[in-house]
Structure 1
Amino acid sequence: MNEKVRRFGGKAVTEVGETIRFLGGVVAVWFVLVTFVFAAFHIPSESMQPAIQVGDRVLVSKFAYGYSRHSLPLGLGYLLPDSWSGRMLGSTPKRGDVVVVRDPAQDINLIKRVIGLPGDRIEMRAGRLYINDELVPRDPEGVVQYRDREGDTVEAAVYIETLPGGDVHEIYERSDSAALDNVGPFNVPENHLFLMGDNRDASLDSRASRGIGYVHRDLVVGRAWTVLFTFASCRREDGMTCPGWRVWRPI
């Protein structure tokens, strides 16, 4: 009987050990993936509509621009000394890229589109975007109505905007005379980026005095690659835009 108990106990210990090793391997693979390859971020705001909707789970490429302390998962990078603020294998995002960046003032991640690169001159005049004193073309596509986070009805014009270099994307404009529609010029410093949301009148970005300002490229977490999945976060109403469930939609 004792022999059977010993055998059973030994087998149980072996199985527990194998399970622990397996789970340890899973955790190690997960850590490597979310540190060096991809990580998912939840979108709580409407600042990047219509490309990214409230509730989207966005897959972000960590390797697109190299690695910094902001690449580490679970906030582990912020346990490192402040002197460790560089970037390995770093590169500068392209104009038009949608990026996740760290906002040190709020200790949160933000997602915006790269509008200005180092050396650029950015200005908003009567709702129109100028880059290096050249008007950025936008073509009207229609009008949408939706409810914002407070439940209020919002009407916005939809435009197709074409940035220098060829990036084409949609933007929302509620008005051409809102608070951030006549600001600048902004001269983007070396190693910095100028970021804006696609929902131009609902985005606290580099244009705003209380926004993120010029963003150092070392604060970039990664490039938003695709909408991994989302569940509709609004109810369907006649005449109102309510994006439905989406899976694996490129940004």
Structure 2
Amino acid sequence: MADKAKKKDGGIVETIKTIVYALLIAGVFRTLFFQPFWIPSGSMKDTLLIGDFLFVNKMTYGYSYASCPSIRIPAVGINIDAKNLCGWLDGDNTRILGGEPERGDVVVFRHPVTGFDFIKRLIGLPGDKVQIIAGVVHINGEAVKLEDGGLFEETAGPQGPQRLRPRCENGPVGDGGLCVKSRQIETLPGGVSHAILNITNQGSDNTGVYTVPEGHYFFMGDNRDNSTDSRVPQAARGVGFVPYENLIGRADRIMFSSAGKSMFAFWTWRSDRFFKGIY
């Protein structure tokens, strides 16, 4: 009986050790190489849709305190912030093995105020002057190139686990109706081209001049009228200018995409988005 008890206890210990080792390996992998990210909102349509699942390349820009993952599981009361794990790297706005982001990159970064992970497109580099006039981005006094990109169409109704409803250019649309937005192809200085969407004319379509400080970046969502980004100052709970050390990594490729409430609902996966490049 004693031998059986010892074997049982030993088996439990080995199981716990295996789980701990697996978590440590996963934590190292997520911290140093690739971090999974699931798109929760429509601010980057149609480049990224609600339910897209991707891995963020952390090696591109090097490492800072923001490279440590925050562990948030509200259901069980777990809320471990990246600063709790790697706060000793915070404060000097530098990075280890740092690489410079390029204009047009789609970047996951740590929100300077809330600490939550955001994903947006890099529009303004340090020293740039950025202004939006009648919905057109101007960088250092020059309007970006725009071409007609047709229409973006989707079915109106609750989307993703948060059950967010899309805003439509063709007015309020009932569930199951066709929600339409105008699409344009925007080409930034340096040659990166991508689609942007328009819903309506609103205050964020006309702004003052933002002068990007050294060591900071200016981000915008591709779904321009449905994005909280650098156009909103941090004092108003917006993104404002993002410090270099807050960058987490670059989003390069969608692995798969779920149109349902959960990424595990494989019957709702979008067949046309497997391993789709992000541009």
TM range (shorter): 0.7 to 0.9
Aligned: 1:40 with 2:36: yes
For residues 219 and 229 of structure 1, the distance between their equivalents in structure 2, rounded to whole angstroms, comes to: 26
For residues 85 and 58 of structure 1, the distance between their equivalents in structure 2, rounded to whole angstroms, comes to: 29
Identity %: 37
Q: What letter corresponds to residue 163 of structure 1 in structure 2? A: L
> How far off its partner does 1:134 sit?
1.6
1:186 to 210, 215, 228: 210
Point out the more displaced range, 222-231 or 181-190: 222-231
1:84 to 80, 85, 90: 90
Alpha carbons 1:48, 1:198 under 8 Å: kept: yes
For residues 140 and 184 of structure 1, the distance between their equivalents in structure 2, rounded to whole angstroms, comes to: 26
For residues 85 and 229 of structure 1, the distance between their equivalents in structure 2, rounded to whole angstroms, comes to: 36
SS of the aligned residue for 1:180 comes to: helix
SS of the aligned residue for 1:65 comes to: coil
Match of 1:201 in 2: 225
Compute the RMSD of aligned alpha carbons.
Answer: 2.5
For residues 99 and 203 of structure 1, the distance between their equivalents in structure 2, rounded to whole angstroms, comes to: 15
Alpha carbons 2:108, 2:249 under 8 Å: kept: yes
SS of the aligned residue for 2:121 comes to: strand
Q: What letter corresponds to residue 196 of structure 2 in structure 1? A: I
1:57 to 53, 59, 76: 53
Aligned: 1:220 with 2:247: yes
Correspondences of 1:4-153 after superposition (within 5 Å): 5-73=1-69, 74=71, 75-79=80-84, 80-81=86-87, 84-86=90-92, 87-146=95-154, 147=156, 149-150=164-165, 152-153=172-173
Deviation readout 1:66-101 (Å, 9 max, x if unpaired): 111211122452215577334222222110111111
Q: Which has the larger radius of gyration?
A: 1
Match of 1:157 in 2: 182
Point out the more displaced range, 105-114 or 139-148: 139-148
Give structure 2 stretches of 5+ with no counterpart: 72-79, 158-163, 167-171, 174-178, 262-268
For residues 81 and 47 of structure 1, the distance between their equivalents in structure 2, rounded to whole angstroms, comes to: 29
Deviation readout 1:138-163 (Å, 9 max, x if unpaired): 11121123337336434321111111
Deviation readout 1:160-192 (Å, 9 max, x if unpaired): 1111112111111224x3221111221111001
Alpha carbons 1:42, 1:56 under 8 Å: kept: yes
Residues 1:222 and 1:31: Cα distance change in structure 2 (over 3 Å):
same
Count how many residue pairs are aligned between Structure 1 and Structure 2. 239
Point out the more displaced range, 165-174 or 19-28: 19-28
Match of 1:237 in 2: none
Q: What letter corresponds to residue 221 of structure 2 in structure 1? A: G
Alpha carbons 1:69, 1:85 under 8 Å: kept: no
For residues 242 and 222 of structure 2, the distance between their equivalents in structure 1, rounded to whole angstroms, comes to: 17
